[in-house]
Structures are given as structure tokens and as C-alpha cells.
Structure 1
Amino acid sequence: MFHQMNPIDDVISTARAALEALDVLPPVCLFGTEEDRNFFQEIVTRGEVLGEDFRDCGASLLRHLARVEPDEELERNIDTAIRQIRDAINGSYCIAGGLANDCEPGILRAA
């Protein structure tokens, strides 16, 4: 029988996918934001994706990645990481605000 994940598991899954996307990037892309990346991983590992710490840390990573000027080869990987982090943050906001039913299905769907 098909097992449907709950919305929190969807956010955790999306956040894990974001971590995987970050791991694909060369270290130079994350230079200066290693602490945020490690804290993001700790929060996701603990499953605490509904708190402000998760969203603030994710936002910090997004700001950093937005400033990276990638070559053509890295652009797709950076875009993937940005999309995954953004989707996880959006899902977190939706659930934390009690809006899980009002969110677009794509926001809560893990990649």
C-alpha cells in the first residue's frame, strides 16, 4: 500500500535534498558560510524544520548563494540548491503558520 508522508516529513525530505545539493557544490561556493551550512544540517538532522532558526539559517544560505557568480557548469547546481532551500523554507512557513492545507502542493512535495 502507498504510504503518504506527512507535511513535516515532506519539509525534512526537501531540506535533506537541499543539503545534498549543497554537497555537490565545490567548497569555494560555500566559502564564508560553512557555519550556516553545518547549522542547517544539524537542524535538519534533529528534524526541527518548523522553527525560526531553520528559516533564518536557510535564508542566510540563500543570500550567500545569490551572490555567487557561477560559471555555466555550476549555475544549474546552484539553482538546484537555491530551489531546494527555498522550497523547504516555504514549506516550513506553511506548516508553522497552520496553512499546510492552503499551500500549493509543489511547495510541500519533496524533490
Structure 2
Amino acid sequence: MSSSRWTPRWVLRKIRLDEGEFEVCYDEVTGLYVCPLCSPECKREVDKIPEETSYFLNEKDLVYHIKVHPRKPWNRRTQRRKIPEEIERDNEEDENEDDS
């Protein structure tokens, strides 16, 4: 009987970055890459599915993600969504007052 549950088998692979080599997590089952900066547990637990991470279909996309990691543009979008509506309205009112 086959299971529909994914059981990853993470292996460490080295990829080339401008600065040299970087060790990343690669799943032998699906062929997906995971950023070890977002999910360091993939380096320690070979059969665990990271809870909050980004998955990449190819090395090129993962390399780009690692290069922009210090800026974390994905966090800004998340933080912007989490602002309570009343604070957002107050900010809009302040901006409208500045325009007057």
C-alpha cells in the first residue's frame, strides 16, 4: 500500500554562490530545495518537513533567494498585512493631513 504523505529525505548539497560554496538542503524524493537559513532543521533532521519555509524547484531560484535573504523582502509583505486596520486608517489620515 502506498502512502500519500510526503516523507522527505534531505541531503546536503553544495551550491556555488559569488562568495564561494554554500551548503543547502535538497530532498531526494521530490527534488525540492529548501533554504537552510529559513529552515536549519533540514540539516539535522533528514525526514522532517519544515513548517515555515520556502521551497524551490531549482538551484537558480534558491541562489537568488539566498542572495536577497539579508533584506528579507517577504517579511515586509507579511508585516504589512498584519497591521491592525485602525492603525492603518490613522496612518492614511496623517498622510491626507500632510497633503492639505
TM-score class normalised by the smaller sequence: under 0.3
| Larger relative contact order (CA 8 Å, sep ≥ 6) | 1
Which structure would you say has the larger Rg? 2
TM-score by length of 1: 0.25
TM-score by length of 2: 0.26
Q: Would you tell me which structure has more strand in proportion to its own residues?
A: 2
